[in-house]
Amino acid sequence: VELAAKHTVPEAPSLKPREEWRYIGKERGRLDAEAKSTGAPIYGIDVELEGMVYAVVSRPASYGARVKSYDDTAARRLPGVLDVFEIERGVAVVANKYWRARKAQDALTIEWDNDGALDVSSDQVFSSYHKAADEDPGESERSEGDYDDAQQGAERVVEASYEQPYLAHATLEPMNATAWYRDGAIEVWAPTQAPDLGRIAAARVTDLSPDEVTIHTTFLGGGFGRRLTNDYIEEAASVAYRVREPVKLIWSREEDTRHDVYRPAMLHRMRASVSRDQVTGWHHQIVGPQILDWYVRNAAPAQYPWAPKFLYGTLGRVGLMAEGIATPKDHSAIEGAIEYPYRVPNLDIRHTHTDPGVPVSWWRSVGFSHNGFAVETFMDELAHEVGQDPYRFRRSLIDHEPRHLGVLDRAAQLAQWDSAAPEGRARGVALFRSFGTYVAQVVEASVEFGEIRVHRVYCAVDCGQVVNPDIVRDQIEGGIIFGLTAALYGNITLEGGQVQQSNFHDYPLMRHDQRPEVVVDIIDSDESPTGVGEPGVPPVIPALGNALFALSGKRQRSLPLKASV
């Protein structure tokens, strides 16, 4: 910067020719690889401060419940316990060691006030979605041609509904934050994806303004959108404001699973009109909540950091009422669906907004994740309906989109689509664009010993100009593993408003010995660079489902996928 400041900016700067590039497009290791390999980085859970104490919080099992009363007599008698008190989200225990805080938490007796608390089961969630879909056709998000006319004149109409459950983020580092209130200010050390919102969260529960809150952003032990919601910072700040000592608050794995803000459960109703084996119309009704309804609580005040705290609630409400003006339009439910790329003359894409009250937030690839499954599974069903090969069916409807076509053809080539799959295996294909990046994937899978086995994933990606191909491959591969985990195991269920899963025994992740061979091929491109952290997720879920259909002849329209249906 100092050197550049001594030069004047030329009016028409010339870019360095590609053949002279030294860094862009070259294979270079990650800048943080050595540090992470040697254990040098400080993650949130690693933070150590002199005189630090530890806190845990007991939260209600059902969202929206509140503390009615509690008895801390037994807890206070235990060694190392420094304080027990109520905060907005539950009852906090502070001790001089973490495990002592946990033991004291077990000794608490808490009576919860469940008036107004969430009281819903997973079955009731989807029943409410179907009811909402029946009663409300939803807001039109994209309309081309005349779908109703196409349906009336069609030889046949193909229909299908797809259900996807709530999903947890399951970051390997559970939520945590360290806070220190002193000298009229507060410092917070936290693994957060949104430090500006962290300042709002800390200010909300103290006597401070956001300007008096300092956030030290540490390395994240997994984010995937979970650490955009700073409830754990809010809790740590609440405790620090009372104890006036540096305090580290840690969530247990069980707390992290049961008090997550989840990827929304969604319902998709699909219809397509078909005549002479041609798709003449496409109707997609998306049913479920919007994430901004939940996120706006801290996001709206963060847009106006000068606003006094008594206006925070008002700003949140105004943000909801003035979507697209005071806050951006929320595309979280519809993204990936409204960009439907196939050449079909009559389109009708709608969103029926309904919310059963389960806390939701961003999850890796957000709405693209559930829309990708619905769109690309239904495309496979249509290929079967008209008796065409799934790859060539897509190709015939996408040849006007050269970047889509490029990745689709390349993935098919990588997988040797026209050759027979090994005995006992089958292949499925899917294509999706998200975050500006075009991705096509072919999954080769089987069922072995009563379990789904993913053997290979062939992936072609066009993310524009690539800076570091090694990082692109790493991110796409990570997204594929993340998506396969959701496809095979992801399922947060509720009974009486309480999450039933708690740890990796009942909310498992894909393990190393289950990992497929992954081939990632990057399309050479001069287009502007686009995202790579999330686009690997959406296509792999329907591609696996389509492979299982090719294997068994039975279509699965809900997740997670099963070995036998």
104: containing domain: 46-60+66-113+175-250
Residue 31 within any structural domain of the chain: no
What is d(CA 210, CA 204) in angstroms, rounded to the nearest whole number? 9
Q: Are residues 161 and 182 in the same domain?
A: no
Q: Considering the domain boundaries, does residue 343 fall inside one?
A: yes
- Residue 555 is predicted with a pLDDT of 98
Give the model's pLDDT for residue 462: 98
532 is a domain residue:
yes
* Rounded Cα–Cα distance for residues 340 and 555 (Å): 22
Distance (Å, whole) CA 404 – CA 431: 8
Say which CATH number the domain at 229 has: 3.30.365.10
pLDDT, residue 324, reads: 60
Could you tell me the CA-to-CA distances from 288 to 102, 264, 351 in Å, in that order? 37, 7, 8
Residue 179 near residue 188, CB atoms below 8 Å: yes
498 and 377 share a domain? yes
Among the candidates 219, 250, 281, a domain finishes at 250
Assess whether 239 and 354 both reside in one domain.
Answer: no
Kindly tell me if the per-residue pLDDT of 319 is higher than 70.
Answer: no
pLDDT higher than threshold 60 for residue 326: no
Predicted confidence band of residue 565 (pLDDT cuts 50, 70, 90): confident
214 and 144: one domain? no
Q: Does residue 329 carry a pLDDT above 90?
A: no
> Mind listing the pLDDT tens digit for each residue in 85-99?
999 999 999 999 999
pLDDT tens digit sequence for 149-193? 999 999 999 999 999 999 999 999 999 999 999 999 999 999 999
CB 221 within 8 A of CB 45: yes
- pLDDT band of 314, cuts 50, 70, 90: confident
Please state whether beta strands 53-58 and 90-95 pair in parallel, antiparallel, or not at all (unpaired).
antiparallel
Residues 348 and 415 grouped into a single domain: yes
Q: Give the model confidence (pLDDT) of 356-399 as tens digits.
A: 999 999 999 999 999 999 999 999 999 999 999 999 999 999 99
Which is higher by pLDDT, 432 or 303? Answer: 432
pLDDT at 327: 65
- Residue 29 or residue 118, greater confidence: 118
Residue 325 above 80 pLDDT?
Answer: no
Q: How confident is the model at residue 304 (pLDDT cuts 50, 70, 90)?
A: confident
pLDDT single digits (tens) 53-88: 999 999 999 999 999 999 999 999 999 999 999 999
Does one domain contain both 188 and 159? Answer: no
pLDDT score of 13: 86
Residue (of 89, 234, 251) closest to 173 by Cα position: 251
Using pLDDT thresholds of 50, 70 and 90, give the confidence band for residue 29.
confident
Asked whether residue 462 is assigned to any structural domain, the reply reads yes
153 and 55 share a domain? Answer: no
323 lies in some domain: no
Which pLDDT does position 322 carry in this prediction? 59
Is residue 393 within a helix (H) or strand (E), and if so which, with residue range?
A: helix 390-398
Predicted confidence band of residue 303 (pLDDT cuts 50, 70, 90): confident
User: Confidence class of residue 320 from pLDDT cuts 50, 70 and 90?
Assistant: low
Residue 316 included in any domain: no
Torsion angle (degrees, nearest 10) of CA 406, 407, 413, 414? 150
Whole-model pTM over 0.85: yes
The pLDDT tens digits for 490-549 are 999 999 999 999 999 999 999 999 999 999 999 999 999 999 999 999 999 999 999 999
Average pLDDT of the chain is: 95
Domain tally, the chain: 2
